[in-house]
Amino acid sequence: MRFALVVQGAPFSGASFSAYHFANAVITTGHELYRVFFYQDGVYSGNALSVPPQDEWDIQLKWEQLHLRHDVELIVCIASSLRRGLLDSTEAERYDKPAHNLGSAFEISGLGQLIDASLNSDRVITFGPC
């Protein structure tokens, strides 16, 4: 079966952790992970500048490893990420901001990717906001 995940909660609300565990389970049980769409506060998971303490997970790094190992598509919604200050180099340039902070494993795209995921997956699982 083909799964799409929607992550709407900020990294520390648990939503991103749960989605990460679920994403791994989809792969280990032999199903297909079509797309992980980070929306609303979920986009904060893509912040490459986060420095968690040693005894805590770096959820941004976890998602990056999953992307590299299993070629999972990680999309952050452009409207949500602009508002919240998650920029890649293109958006940083467009709005002449001095820096960008989106992890390389994450790709900025529009809400169309959420709808496309809904139309082309068998199951869409939402990991809720606070």
- 3-state secondary structure (DSSP) of residue 100: coil
Retrieve residue 12's tokens. 């520390």
Q: Which does 1 bind (CB under 5 to 8 A by kind): another protein, a copy of itself, none?
A: another protein
Which entry of 5, 10, 77, 102 is annotated as an active-site residue? 77
Burial (Cβ within 10 Å: 0-12, 13-18, ≥19) of residue 92: middle
Please say if 77 is a catalytic residue. Answer: yes
Which spans of this chain sit near a copy of itself (rule: CB under 8 A)?
10-12, 41, 44, 47-53, 56, 60, 82-87, 91-92, 95, 97-101, 130
Tell me, what amino acid is at 45? S
With CB cut-offs between 5 and 8 Å by kind, which of a copy of itself, another protein, none does residue 124 bind? another protein
